[in-house]
Amino acid sequence: MQPALWQQLDQAAAGIGQMRAGRSLTAWLPTVAPRLRPGVQALSFHVARHLGQALALRRLLAQRHLQEPVDALLCTTLALLAGEPAMYPAFTVVDQAVEAARRNPRTRAAAGLLNACLRRYLRERAALDAAVQGDPQAQWNHPVWWIEMLRRDHPEHWQLPLRAAGQHAPLVLRVNRQRASVPQVLARFEAAGLPAARLGGDAVELLAPQPVQAIPGFAEGHVSVQSAAAQRAAPLLLAGLKTPAPRVLDACAAPGGKTAHLLEINPAAQVTALDSDAARMVRVRENLARLGLQAHCVVADATAPAGWWDARAFDAILLDAPCSASGIVCRHPDIRWLRRENDIVQLAARQDALLAALWPLVKPGGRLLYCTCSVFRAEGAQRADSFLRRNSDAALLPSPGHLLPALWPRGEPVGDNDAYDDGFFFALLEKIPSFPSPS
């Protein structure tokens, strides 16, 4: 039997409360009972996508201070009522939200207040929705600082990532060219009755999303989940390398998607996968084993090479640096509410430190690909420009720069007008060989 909606609402509100306290939904969801988890994830992600509007409506409907559990349940329910597309009929949502309030000792005393607020919203919905449209956070469901940063960084296209963040992320797969071809994978999906389309390169979009373990060929290592934008990294780094078996470092490698893609493109590459998180490195090893690939996996801090580097320079380094993840909000809708404006300054400092530490490890004539899944220039173009000003032996090779996430017709190739499923930044840097000065 399906769990009651009130149970799912109670848990989703708890998750939203955790998110507003600074905990990611991804970290919190494993604590939810397995039978409730799928429904709670769907509800909480929907709420995160519409929380800005819900917060503005709550200020109109309940002007006095509410205890956190009550506030979280009210905001959760308003997001479900106001957000499109509707997940359940409005009166069902209200009835089950009030039931959730009555069943929870922390919200029971406020069940009447909750009922009154929600029924007022249903009666006055058009007027209340109109009243909050002048609030940028309500209109775009992002913090105001985030919206303003996008307007400064991308004055002609700032609305693209905001609109894309309100949509469900597409399920994009990377075909392991060492075990299958794109036509073979597409034929297998067709035989299984799963519509799919090629997006370009090794990327395939599964138009009818499935649980990962149910995807034909996943267990056999024929496909992996990886966005089309992320799939730009490995071929960009490897293209043009003259060494048949290059030494390659994937810094900040977990969970291993780009490490695997490097080896799928060039199985002869000597790849070192580096990450500072031992638990996440377990996932790298598991992913490589499923795909039939091997890399040298190291748990260490990339900014302290003395502790792990063997003093042999790398032909190529892939630095997918820690960032705000502002380009993948459609996949993790809570990110916009977890980040703070001053986080960007701190992350930029970390990105500069990683670039400074890893650049000496690149051999002359080699290259480093700096990338982030961020749409903010402070984590992309500004970091690359700053690095080039500080390093006279570095040159920028042709690079995609900032790719903005945008909506596109499902199943059609991505990449037109630099719009992708995820927001990314790519800067390919070459180390200029030094030449002796004339005598």
Q: Is the dihedral of CA 186, 187, 191, 195 positive or negative?
A: positive
- Using CA atoms of 171, 172, 177, 178 in order, give the dihedral in degrees to the nearest 10: -40
373 is catalytic: yes
Cβ neighbours around 378 below 10 Å, total? 19
CB contact at 8 A, 429 and 317: no
From 75, 252, 330, 373, active-site residue? 373
Contact 197, 412 (CB under 8 A): yes
Which of these, 437, 433, 395, 435, lies nearest to 313 by C-alpha position? Answer: 433
Integer angstrom CA distances of residue 439 from 281, 393, 436: 51, 21, 9
What letters, b where the CB count within 10 A reaches 16 and e where it falls short, cover 25-45? beebbeebeeebbebbbebbb
Please, how many CA atoms are within 13 Å of residue 50, restricted to the half-sphere of its CB? Answer: 25
Q: Residue 10, exposed/middle/buried by CB under 10 A (0-12, 13-18, 19+)? A: buried
The tokens for 20 are 């507003």
Backbone φ, ψ for residue 259 (5° rounding): -55, -50
Q: Pairing relation of β-strands 223-225 and 171-175?
A: antiparallel
The conformational region for residue 401 under phi > 0 = left, psi -120 to 50 = alpha, else beta, is left
Alpha helices by DSSP H, listed for 247-325, are 257-265, 278-291
Q: 35 φ, ψ to 5°?
A: -70, -25
431 - beta bridge partners?
394
Using only C-alpha atoms, what is the Rg of the chain? 24
Nearest partner of 293 among 224, 366, 368, judged by Cα: 224
Structure tokens at 318: 């892939």
Residue 277 · residue 248 · CB < 8 Å? no
Pairwise CA distance, residues 257 & 279, whole Å: 16
- Annotated catalytic residues are 373
